[in-house]
Amino acid sequence: MIQEKSSPRSRAIYIDIDDVLSHTIAALDDLLHQHHDRRVPYESIKHFDLGISFDLKADELRTFLALAHEPQTIKAISPVEGAVAGLEHWSKAGYEVRLVTGRPPTTEAATRHWLETHGVPHASLAFVDKYGRAGGWTEDIPTLALSDIAKLDFCLAVEDSLEVAAFIAENLDIDVALVDHPWNRATEHLSSHVRDRLIRCHSWPEIIERFPQP
């Protein structure tokens, strides 16, 4: 599990997985095509809620997410270019790479297999109910609530969910490297303080260039 605050200067970096380390949305678009015979252009995916972006009804979305979390789906996702090199850079510099995913804990084995297959360096992997879905989580695997993140200590976060990135920026008062995607570009509703903490980045080389030693 992730350690709570224990030092004045943390060396831990929060890293999301989907669409930060892995090209998850591309894999999900393939899944949509396979099961619903349609695709959604990347730039049209402007809502983090796939029910909206993929035009899926509630029952369709439940089935779709179940398919998305199947081991064969997760294992087939491609890694984001430069992600492993970026994490290796921080690890060699003495930082702890702590993966914090919103995937359900049922995906633990497949997720760990994917991380090992692609040589993703990390000190820990935590499952967090970032999106209020834990009502359906039944695995006997330790999980955290989003509110628990506010009690933890990081020097930087890397996220693609605007909601989660804003929560981290506001509650931990740290910079968040916000990996640019169509679904996280509408920031007008956020406070100026939070917007200042969200550093939009378009690639892993840019993230490392901006935060070589966070």
Largest Cα–Cα separation, the chain: 53
85 and 175 inside one domain: yes
Quick check: 112 pLDDT over 50?
yes
Among 32, 54, 75, residue at a domain's last position: 75
Mark whether 102 and 29 lie in a shared domain: no
Is residue 195 located within the same domain as residue 109? yes
How many domains does the chain fold into? 2
Q: What is the tens place of the pLDDT at every residue in 31-86?
A: 999 999 999 999 999 999 999 999 999 999 999 999 999 999 999 999 999 999 99
In a domain, 206, yes or no: yes
pLDDT tier at 13 (50, 70, 90 boundaries)? Answer: very high
Q: Which domain holds residue 66?
A: 24-75
Same domain as 105, residue 18: yes
Question: Has residue 139 been placed in a domain?
Answer: yes
Whether residue 89 is found in the same domain as residue 149: yes
116 and 183 inside one domain: yes
| Domain C-terminal end among 33, 55, 75 | 75
Q: Residue 141: what pLDDT?
A: 77
List pLDDT tens digits, range 137-196.
Answer: 666 777 899 999 999 999 999 999 999 999 999 999 999 999 999 999 999 999 999 999
What are the DSSP calls for the chain, one per residue? -PPBP-SSS--EEEE--BTTTB-HHHHHHHHHHHHHS----GGG---S-HHHHTT--HHHHHHHHHHHTSHHHHHTPPBPTTHHHHHHHHHHTT-EEEEEE-S-GGGHHHHHHHHHHTT---SEEEEEETTS-GGG--SSS-EEEHHHHTTB--SEEEES-HHHHHHHHHHH---EEEE--GGG---TTS-HHHHHHEEEESSHHHHHHH-S--
198 has a pLDDT exceeding 50: yes
Residue with the bigger pLDDT between 37 and 132: it is: 37
Instruction: Assess whether pLDDT exceeds 70 at residue 4.
Output: no
Question: Is 125 found in the same domain as 33?
Answer: no
Residue ending a domain, among 75, 93, 110, is: 75
